[in-house]
A and B are shown apart, each in its own frame.
Chain A
Amino acid sequence: MSTFAKSWLRTDRLTDVRTLPLLITLGLFLLMFAYGSVAYRGFFSLQVFFNLFIDNAFLLIVAIGMTFVVISGGIDLSVGGLVAVTTMISATLVQSHHWPIWVVTPLVLAIGAAFGAFQGVLIQYFRLQPFIVTLGGLFLTRGLCFLINIESITISDPAYTAVSEFRLHLPGADLSANVLIATATFVAALWLAHYSEFGRVVYAIGGSERSALLMGLPVARTKVLVYTLSGFCAALGGVTFTFYMLSGYGLHAQGMELDAIAATVIGGTLLTGGVGYVTGTLFGVLILGVIQTLITFDGTLSSWWTRIVIGALLCAFCVMQRLLERHTAARRTAHSNVRKVAAPPTTPVAAEAAIPLQQGSAR
């Protein structure tokens, strides 16, 4: 543990291109929270801080799944729909069929993981673009919600209400069951990303899929697993969302895929893949939460300002990523003494361009 702490205290790490966005995010969060504390009475309290977690636990869980997908160089647009369909299936089974909570929850988690795996198989083995496949997934899941029921279903099951109303009393503040679930997910994701073989392969694929293949890493299996994990996280997010809202509805979590992507990007994960931290995603979610809290405390601003601010932040962070990328590219070319050429306008997802070359050695 001490070596781990030491490696974080090294100063060169602070100026590293890979950790810089994370530090900026952390600084921005502290700045926003400090601003709120000064500007609004009652803002500076442990409960307000904990409320960020209570109100965004589901988003954190979904965004963690998204982080793995983005690090691997892909994207998952189906998560919002998957959250909605999870709340819908849970609510229907509980209210209409009186299934117990310990049967429903594993079932919906399995459904989410299976759906993610299905998308992963399409992406990996049929060589389809993640964007299109998960877009179809979004259509499918949202449509399924409305096929099940077009109305909102309120859950009155005692077990569900008990979980929903559960509060862990800490000195000065309370925590909900959702926060505990999110914390457990976060810890598991930290281990998975930074201390497991799976995580290393995910980073390797994001860095360069071809190199990962040539190194003999299990690329196909890992990519399917990444989407499976994202589907599982979306379903888990759906379960916590059910606890949070105590209802199932097809319009739940509208646009959550965008919030999850925004949180991931603001947290310093590079959309080109290969670089990113689960901790960054946590702060990305906290920033989105703090924006909402600031707007609530202000009281005069309308909620649509949230979307504009999130968009502006997303823009700022993307531009920053590009600048840092160019900076490293320039440094690299300077080192290797290669004549610098004008950067081509854009090369979206370099991995896709390389796909035809990989086909022979894919499996």
Chain B
Amino acid sequence: MTDTTLTSWPARIRSLRQTLTRHPLFLPVLTLLVLLLVNRAFNAHFFHVENKDGHLFGSLIDILNRASPLALVALGMTPVIATRGVDVSVGAVVAICAATAAVLIGGNMQIVNGVETYVSNVPLAVAIIAALAVGLLCGLWNGALVSVVGMQPIIATLILMVAGRGIAQLLTSGQIITIYYQPYFFLGAGFLFGLPFALYIVAAVGLLLWFLTKRTALGLFITAIGINPTASHFAGIKARAITLCVYGFSGLMAGAAGLVISANVKSADGNNAGLLMELDAILAVTLGGTSLAGGRFSLVGSLIGALIIQTLTYTTYSIGVPPEANLVVKAIVVFVVCVVQSEPVRRLIIRDPSWQGAMR
């Protein structure tokens, strides 16, 4: 294939197809497209986006909006999984941070100039920063257990997963705390330039992370730790510090997701906020093509993975499958994706000689 100008069209298309199918994002994007088309088949208005008072409305916007907490958590989880770790405490951290924000904001009714208004207990910025700081602290705790003490990531984060719901309950004294402070709701339900505000948070975090991992050496370091911790240590990478930061970031993102969720439902529930979210986040990251064995990660993939999960939820609701079946559908997706990605099946499916040559 030295002279491309002489190559016939079918050959060109074949080579284009090969580059496409070998692209790491091929499978996630395909899955998402298929899901969207399934939805379109059931609902003719699915792709319809409407402009009401400068706000965009429609199924697609709805999916984007609802997927944003999961997208945040998945973005935080991606570097963790890339270092061959896992953070199963994110669901509990979501609950803790939501509880912190709710307790700090609360909302008291006061009469200001003869008008009944709700004011928060502490300034909004303080509450948000405090909640994020708590998330960061939780993440750093996990990171310290993994990198300093040297525990297995699953176990280290399992501790906070077990204790976290108890801590959230402790903060809220076992109650569901309702938030009455209006400006706080903007985080979860607000619109900016026609799009949900939460999307901007996801975009900002995504861009920042993309910049840090692609434009600095951080991405390389994270991948190196995932491929071989010992070798990267000898290569002079500060593996401990990076691992600590990666878990801290995951906790911070769980905190941000907790803020968005609590602003969305206008309350904090220690028991149910972020329930099973760790599993959804791991699933989103896996669906996005990030290897659970570490050493390879895709931020865009994780975002697409979060969208796939939210679309899947939307689909099960809209085609009339009982919401209870949602878990079963997810489970089947987990099994199918894992089996398809597994080594033996890959070897069976891909009989492309050039690919096998690359493997050798």
Contacts and interface: CB of A to CB of B under 8 A. Distances in A.
Given A140-B328, A347-B230, A265 B155 contact: yes
Given A122-B339, A146-B324, A304-B166, A140 B154 contact: no
Interface in A292-311: 302, 304-308, 310-311
A315 B167 CA distance: 15
Contact of B331 (A122, A136, A304): A136
A299 B213 CA distance: 52
Interface string B190-203: 00000000000000
A314 B169 contact: no
B339 A128 contact: yes
Given A136-B338, A140-B332, A143-B326, A308 B344 contact: no
**Chain B at the A interface: mostly helix, strand, loop or mixed?**
helix
Interface stretch (A55-63, A152-160, A337-345): A337-345
A133 interface: yes
B84 A314 contact: no
Interface string B153-175: 11110111111111101100110
A125 interface: yes
A138 interface: yes
B166 A348 contact: no
A98 interface: no
B150 interface: yes
A111 B84 CA distance: 34
A127 B150 contact: no
Interface string B294-328: 00000000000000000000000000001011111
A122 to B, nearest CB: 7
A129 to B, nearest CB: 6
A341 to B, nearest CB: 9
Contacts of A343: 150
A346 interface: yes
Interface in B212-241: 225, 229-230, 233, 239-240
A278 B163 CA distance: 25
Interface string B172-186: 011000000000000
B165 to A, nearest CB: 6
B330 A143 contact: yes
A137 B149 CA distance: 31
A35 to B, nearest CB: 21
A318 B155 contact: yes
A308 to B, nearest CB: 4
A349 B152 contact: yes
A131 B154 contact: yes
Contacts of A126: 338-339, 342, 344-345
B166 A311 contact: yes
Interface string B49-85: 0000000000000000000000000000000000011
Given A126-B339, A143-B324, A310-B163, 12 more contacts: A122-B339, A136-B335, A139-B328, A143-B326, A147-B324, A150-B324, A272-B152, A304-B270, A310-B162, A314-B163, A345-B225, A348-B84
Interface of A: 75, 122, 125-129, 131-133, 135-140, 142-144, 146-147, 150, 250, 255, 258, 261-262, 265, 271-272, 302, 304-308, 310-312, 314-315, 318-319, 322, 326, 342-349, 352, 359
